[in-house]
Structure 1
Amino acid sequence: MSRITSCELMEWQAAGRTFTLLDVRREAARAADAAAIPDARWLDPESVFTWKDSVPRDRPVVLYCAHGHEISQGIAATLEAMGLDARYLIDGFSGWRDTGRPTRSL
Structure 2
Amino acid sequence: MTQSFAHLDPTTLAQWLSEGRSLKLVDIRDPMSFAQGHIPGSRHLDNTTVAELVDKTPSDTPVVVVCYHGHSSQQAASWLAGQGFDEVYSLDGGFVDWAHRRPEHVER
Same fold (TM over 0.5): yes
Structural mapping, 1:1-106, within 5 Å: 1-31=5-35, 34-44=36-46, 46-47=47-48, 50-51=51-52, 53-54=54-55, 56=57, 57-70=59-72, 72-84=73-85, 85-101=87-103, 102-105=105-108
Runs of 4 or more, structure 1, over 2 Å off, are 26-31, 46-55
Letter of the structure 1 residue corresponding to residue 75 of structure 2: G
TM-superposed deviation, 1:83 = 2.4
TM-superposed deviation, 1:49 = 5.9
Pairwise CA RMSD: 1.8
How many matched pairs? 101
Letter of the structure 1 residue corresponding to residue 30 of structure 2: R
Using structure 1 for the length normalisation, give the TM-score. Answer: 0.83
Offset from partner CA, 1:32-57 (integer Å, 9 cap, x none): xx01100001112x447644523512
More strand, by proportion: 1
User: Between the two proteins, what is the percent identity of the paired residues?
Assistant: 30
TM-superposed deviation, 1:27 = 2.6
Gaps of 5+ in 2: none
Letter of the structure 1 residue corresponding to residue 21 of structure 2: R
